[in-house]
């Protein structure tokens, strides 16, 4: 895509990652990206950055009004840091909570809040 835009790979990468570039470079790279139908690969980006942009919240029952209020408050904080909240209902099962903790260790999410 850099070659199509007539810019260096580094310049194209900066534009595609939102880091910057001159207005002309940004225009060229975005036009080239649109021509080839470029869509950022979140998995590849997370491998490079070691971040997923996700924070998990695990609660027993997402229908519980207390948890609903908690989710709203947590989501606001998470969003202010540029991340997204993923909510999971555990059903109060320890094995379900342990699976989530293993996934945290495998870097599927950047952080996890568990309310057992």
Concatenated DSSP letters of 28-87: HHHHHHHHHT----HHHHHHHHS--SEEEEEES-TTSHHHHHHHHHHHHHHHHTT-EEEE
Q: Are residues 59 and 109 in the same domain?
A: yes
Both 33 and 67 in one domain: the answer is no
Query: From edge to edge, which strands make up the β-sheet containing 111-115?
Result: 84-89, 54-59, 111-115
Share of the chain above pLDDT 90, in %: 26
Sorting pLDDT into bands at 50, 70 and 90, what band is 41?
low
Say which DSSP state 109 is in: S
- Work out how many domains the chain is built from and give that number: 2
Which range marks the domain in which residue 6 is found?
A: 2-40
Contact between 83 and 53 under an 8 Å Cβ cutoff? The reply is: yes
CATH number, domain at 76? 3.40.50.2300
Task: Please tell me the predicted confidence (pLDDT) of residue 47.
Answer: 62
Q: How confident is the model at residue 99 (pLDDT cuts 50, 70, 90)?
A: confident
Q: Is residue 73 pLDDT above 90, yes or no?
A: yes
């Amino acid at each position: 895509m850099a070659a199509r835009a007539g810019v260096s790979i580094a310049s194209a990468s900066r534009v595609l990652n939102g880091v910057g570039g001159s207005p002309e470079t940004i225009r060229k790279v975005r036009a080239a990206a649109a021509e080839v139908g470029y869509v950022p690969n979140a998995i590849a980006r997370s491998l490079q950055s070691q971040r997923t942009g996700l924070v998990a919240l695990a609660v027993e029952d997402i229908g519980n009004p207390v948890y609903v209020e908690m989710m709203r408050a947590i989501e606001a904080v998470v969003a202010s840091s540029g991340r997204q909240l993923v909510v999971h209902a555990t059903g109060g099962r320890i094995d379900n909570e342990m699976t989530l903790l293993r996934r945290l260790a495998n870097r599927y999410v950047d952080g996890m809040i568990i309310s057992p």
